[in-house]
Amino acid sequence: MANTAHETATTAQGALQGKHALVTGGARGLGAAITRRLARAGALVHVADIRRETAEDLCAELKEDGCRALYTELDVRDPAAVAGAFRELDETGPQPLDILVNNAAVDVSKPIEHLSAEEVTRVVGTNLLGPMYTCLEVYRRMVDRGGGHIVNILSTASCRTWTEAGPYAAGKAGLRAFTHTLFKEAQRDCLGVGVTGVVAGGMETPFVLDRFPDADTSLLQSPEIVADTVLYALSVPSGSVVPELVVVPRSESSWP
């Protein structure tokens, strides 16, 4: 799978020329890898994140490379802020949004007995409600326009869980169910709208390494491989759509 996705990414330079994309949590880690792939494939990418400085540095890097990237401040946990951000894109954006990638995610690695209500709310709010809020805004717009593509970044935790991952697994499993439902509704509502869930295994990103600094990185995959997989899903000819893709390290212990 990884080789196929990488080959697709290599040959897809310019495949998204003129497309308008938004990546949540797009400033670092997997989000930054996805932002780079989309921008280098020709899309104008909005880097939607709460990390302004990091996001603006990424946008500057891409502009130096001749790509187009803009920072959009967005906390996906706030439905009013989400609605406002998409209204602003309608009013000021160069064109309607063609691609939404829901990547923003957080985790708190604790036994359930030690979790606080605030921690549970933060994880589920970011990982499940946030993508649902953005989909509510984007999906209806895409149906009205007759086209577009939504990619939701899932996790192996959406299919099989482990200890100290209660809220994370609950959020990702819920997002997987929501993604499958949205895919079915798109088949009914508008065949021009694609919906894809990407089930990603462990990656060598700050999401893992900030919490587990002693993690064996030889057991993790590069976020660029997952970003290639996203680009593959977006590059499938219009007569087809990929509802779900799984990309994991060879050593992934949580799959199947």
Q: Can you give the pLDDT at residue 9? A: 43
254 domain-assigned: no
Residue 7 in domain: yes
The answer to whether position 253 is within a domain reads: no
Q: Is residue 149 part of a domain?
A: yes
Domain residues for the domain of 30 are 2-247
**Which residue, among 83, 78, 8, 72, has the nearest Cα to 35 in the 3D structure?**
72
Burial 102-134 (b: 16+ CB within 10 A, else e): bbbbbbbeeeeeeeeeeebebbbbbbbbbbbbb
pLDDT at residue 10, as a whole number: 44
- pTM reported for the whole predicted model: 0.92
pLDDT of residue 67: 98
Q: What are phi and psi of 194, to 5 degrees?
A: -100, 145
48: in domain: yes
| Structural domain count, the chain | 1
71 is catalytic: no
On whether residue 252 sits in a domain, the answer given is: no
pLDDT per 10-residue tile (average), the chain, 256 residues: 45 79 97 98 97 98 97 97 96 91 96 98 98 98 97 96 95 98 98 97 83 84 96 94 95 79
Instruction: Indicate the helix (H) or strand (E) that contains 149.
Output: strand 148-155
Q: Are the C-beta atoms of residues 131 and 103 closer than 8 Å to each other?
A: no
- Predicted pLDDT of residue 131: 98
Asked if residue 176 lies in contact with residue 127, where contact means CB atoms within 8 angstroms, the answer is no
pLDDT number for residue 206: 76
Q: What is the CATH number of the domain that holds 36?
A: 3.40.50.720
Q: Which listed residue (71, 133, 139, 168) is catalytic?
A: 168
Please give the pLDDT value at position 1.
Answer: 40
